[in-house]
Amino acid sequence: MRRNLLRKFSPIIPDRQFVKWMYKIETGKKLNLKNPVTMNEKLQWLKLYNRRPEYTTIVDKIDVKEYIAARIGAKYIVPTLAVWNSTNDIDLETLPQQFVLKTNHSGGNKGVIICKDKNSLNMEETINKLNKSLRTDLHRNYREWPYKNVKKRIFAEMYLGDDLVDYKFYCYNGSVDAVLLCIDRQAGSPKFYFFDREWNLKRYNKRGKEAPEGFTLPKPSNMEKMFELASELSKGIPFVRVDFYNVDGKIYFGEMTFFPASGYDTKRLPESDLLFGNMIDLSLAYNSAAVCQQR
């Protein structure tokens, strides 16, 4: 109830006050913006004070492809099959039998449709899900500034296969020492496990404690290359999560996310939240002089 009320009046609430109230609602804790120390706290601070123009391009899942190709090479880009401004424009005739539909601004899996057989695709459900995603506003609802000026669109991508593993790299200005693996997402029961660079399971999240002793997952032969690419893409950025897929030994860029769980992650262990927070250097924030004045 409080969350919905806050979002209803979001346009007239100053950003700083909004993130403080939302943080209290989502985490049950008071937000310390004067001296943030945990990852969740620092992500709220970065929402307010690290507003680089290029971030709008980076969070746009369509426009970011050109940015990524220029940074690390076009060979890591998932081919785009079509782009539309609304669901009314979608033309399935132009698409292959298998493909993926996405909205370019949504988080998580909310704006994703995986089509394994075009002939059996339920278009009514597809349109409803995409339209619902198009109505979401991460800037209005969470004050994630990079999304404020993203033009919302729909696009189709090449289908990469079944049971994909998401490799989510936690990056701190080029420093990357852990990756979060997301498995079984397509099955509807996603599981998350952190591994360090030496492929040791790390107990960073609460659900990770459930993994039995000796538990592991297959390590791709080109894992180190993914670490290197994530490091390159994150240079100069206080924090960003860089996601890749690895399909039969071929690496594909997924997305870059500045605010995982919008900085309200209560599934992470408290000591992990502090550990990750210690790795975020706020002095890298854009326009530091203005930041000091606002603090």
For position 43, what pLDDT does the model report?
A: 98
- For residue 38, the number of C-alpha atoms closer than 13 Å in the C-beta half-sphere is 19
Range of the domain at 210: 162-285
Q: pLDDT digits over 189-240, tens only?
A: 788 899 999 999 998 987 655 667 778 899 999 999 999 999 999 999 999 9
Among 30-44, 60-74, 87-101, 179-193, which stretch is predicted with the lowest mean pLDDT?
Answer: 179-193
* 8 domain residue, yes or no: no
Query: Is residue 293 pLDDT above 50, yes or no?
Result: no
Nearest residue to 130 (alpha-carbon basis) of 111, 149, 115:
111
Query: Is residue 287 pLDDT above 90, yes or no?
Result: no
As a whole number of angstroms, the distance between CA 103 and CA 61 comes to: 8
* 245 domain residue, yes or no: yes
Measuring CA to CA, how many Å separate 237 from each of 170, 247, 251, 271? 12, 27, 22, 23
* 214 domain residue, yes or no: yes
**Domain count along the chain:** 1
Q: Which residues contact 57 (CB under 8 A, 6 or more apart)?
A: 63, 64, 67
Task: Report the Cα–Cα distance between both ends of the chain, in Å, rounded.
Answer: 30
* 177 domain residue, yes or no: yes
Residue 111 binned pLDDT confidence (cut-offs 50, 70, 90) = confident
As a whole number of angstroms, the distance between CA 144 and CA 178 comes to: 24
Nearest residue to 146 (alpha-carbon basis) of 57, 67, 39:
57
**250 is written with which tokens?**
């071929």
Q: Do 103 and 255 form a contact (C-beta atoms < 8 A)?
A: no
**Strand spans (E) along the chain:** 80-84, 99-103, 112-115, 154-158, 166-172, 175-183, 191-196, 201-202, 240-247, 250-257
The CATH number of the domain where 166 resides is what? 3.30.470
Average pLDDT over residues 32-51: 97
Average pLDDT over residues 63-72: 98
* 104 domain residue, yes or no: no
Among 6-20, 160-174, 177-191, 198-212, which stretch is predicted with the lowest mean pLDDT?
Answer: 198-212
Q: Which residues contact 89 (CB under 8 A, 6 or more apart)?
A: 154
259 burial via Cβ count (<10 Å: 0-12, 13-18, 19+):
buried
* 261 domain residue, yes or no: yes
Q: Which residues contact 30 (CB under 8 A, 6 or more apart)?
A: 20, 23, 24
Return the residue matching tokens 């220029």: 70
Average pLDDT over residues 30-56: 97
* 123 domain residue, yes or no: no
Query: Is residue 128 pLDDT above 60, yes or no?
Result: yes
Point out which residues pair with 192 in neighbouring strands: 182
* 277 domain residue, yes or no: yes
Query: Is residue 266 pLDDT above 60, yes or no?
Result: yes
Query: Is residue 108 pLDDT above 70, yes or no?
Result: no
- DSSP category for residue 218: P
Average pLDDT, the chain: 91
Q: Do 273 and 29 form a contact (C-beta atoms < 8 A)?
A: no
Q: Do 155 and 104 form a contact (C-beta atoms < 8 A)?
A: yes
